[in-house]
């Protein structure tokens, strides 16, 4: 296979992934034809990449998780509050990825790979909150499970507002303020 053909395949797969996310986010019951049209590829090309809608949704969920993971990686050297704030700063602009995952979660939640990724994310967040509690940055009297759920809910609110008239930077600041005033020692 030539390099030019490899590039074409990668380009069409990237277009399918972006079209899949935006199309399914707008209409979770959208079919493969709509996704192919939005991606600017034929149905045959779409099916060469993904044999079924379920396979496409699974791949989209994995890609979204990988993108989020890649965005956070440069900040992994941080600890406690600093890392929590960095996670907020990098994930708020990725609202469409999170909204996509939430809107189609029921289609992928039984997938073993997706479940493993989700469990790892929850474990990492749980450990981060425990670390911040030990450092005195999170109220030690709050159950960690509550703080993790509050963090998730605060980010959910951010992703809802992200497309409103509030800038992404301001939304991230509101999340930090709300989270640390609610769970931190900023009260």
Of 1, 43, 154, residue with least CA distance to 16: 43
Of 176, 102, 179, residue with least CA distance to 142: 179
Phi, psi of 107, rounded to the nearest 5 degrees: -80, -20
Q: Give the largest CA-CA distance in the chain.
A: 61
Same domain, 85 and 37: no
Concatenating the DSSP letter of every residue in 5-31 gives HHHHHHHHHHHHHHHHHHHHHH-TT--
Same domain, 85 and 30: no
Residue range of the domain that includes 7: 1-51
CA 26 to chain centre: 16
Which single residue is written with the structure tokens 């809910």? Answer: 153
Helix and strand counts by DSSP (H, E) for the chain: 10, 0
Parts of the chain with a pLDDT under 50:
none
Q: What is the pLDDT of residue 5?
A: 59
Q: What is the pTM of this model?
A: 0.80
Same domain, 44 and 113: no
Three-class SS of residue 184?
strand
Which single residue is written with the structure tokens 């399918």? Answer: 16
Q: What is the CATH number of the domain that holds 168?
A: 1.10.357.10
Round to whole Å and give the CA distance between 185 and 28.
Answer: 40
Task: Determine contact, residues 46/36, Cβ cutoff 8 Å.
Answer: yes
Same domain, 86 and 161: yes
Q: What is the pLDDT of residue 2?
A: 55
Same domain, 72 and 102: yes
Torsion of CA 67, 68, 69, 74, to 10 degrees: 100
Same domain, 2 and 87: no
For 167, which DSSP code? -
Task: Determine contact, residues 114/61, Cβ cutoff 8 Å.
Answer: yes
Same domain, 88 and 148: yes
Same domain, 39 and 89: no
Same domain, 80 and 145: yes
Q: What is the pLDDT of residue 58?
A: 87
Same domain, 68 and 4: no
Same domain, 27 and 72: no
């Amino acid at each position: 296979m030539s390099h030019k053909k490899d590039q074409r395949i990668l380009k069409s797969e990237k277009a399918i992934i972006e079209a899949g996310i935006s199309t399914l986010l707008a209409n979770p019951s959208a079919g493969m034809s709509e996704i192919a049209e939005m991606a600017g590829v034929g149905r045959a090309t779409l099916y060469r990449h993904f044999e079924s809608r379920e396979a496409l949704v699974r791949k989209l969920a994995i890609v979204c998780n990988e993108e989020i993971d890649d965005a956070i990686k440069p900040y992994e050297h941080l600890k406690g509050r600093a890392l929590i704030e960095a996670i907020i700063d990098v994930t708020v602009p990725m609202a469409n990825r999170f909204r996509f995952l939430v809107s189609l979660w029921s289609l992928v939640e039984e997938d073993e790979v997706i479940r493993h990724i989700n469990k790892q994310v929850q474990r990492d967040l749980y450990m981060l909150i425990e670390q911040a509690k030990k450092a005195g940055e999170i109220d030690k009297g709050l159950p960690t499970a509550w703080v993790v759920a509050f963090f998730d809910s605060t980010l959910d609110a951010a992703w809802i507002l992200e497309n409103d008239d509030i800038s992404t930077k301001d939304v991230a600041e509101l999340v930090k303020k709300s989270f640390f005033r609610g769970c931190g020692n900023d009260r």
